[in-house]
Amino acid sequence: MKPDNSDKTIVIWILAAIAVLFGVLTIISGGQVLFGDISYRQSAGNYVLFVVWFNFLAGFVYIVAGSGIWMRQGWAVWVSLVIAVATIMVFAAFGMHIFSGGGYETRTVGAMSLRSIVWILIFIFSYRETFRRQLH
């Protein structure tokens, strides 16, 4: 008897939806700070420009990765790994910025932690659901 793949399909749909939604929200929030009027920059507080630019540009890649995960494309799994690694590297650079006395918002620490965890989990689960399926 063939195993039921409906649970795996649901996992893929959830991962893809999270990635795409995360991407859309990231583009909107980063775009408002980068291109919006002064009120958005003021409400962002002591933001770090390279972090905002990275997150804004990464938002487009989130959508691409999410779309690829939805279609169960192997390349999307590797894109999610690149996103996770790049996010952790920017987070580390952000940490060096803080430790060198640069200004920052505490909420950015939380946001970068969340982004790192989300993309590590998306990579792990999409890897398991995409490549494990091919092995069986």
pLDDT tens-place string over residues 31-61? 999 999 999 999 999 999 999 999 999 999 9
Q: Is residue 104 assigned to a domain?
A: yes
Q: How many domains does the chain have?
A: 1
Residue 132 above 90 pLDDT?
Answer: no
The pLDDT-based confidence of 5 (bands split at 50, 70, 90) is low
Residue 26 placed within a domain: yes
**Would residue 92 count as lying in a domain?**
yes
Mean pLDDT of 2-24: 84
In a domain, residue 134? The reply is: no
Confidence class for position 9, pLDDT limits 50, 70, 90: confident
Is 83 within a domain?
Answer: yes
User: Does residue 101 fall inside a structural domain?
Assistant: yes
Does any domain span residue 35?
A: yes
Residue among 27, 52, 34 nearest 105 (CA): 52
Residue 1's pLDDT is what?
A: 42
Q: Tell me whether residue 125 is in a domain.
A: yes
Q: Which domain holds residue 34?
A: 6-129
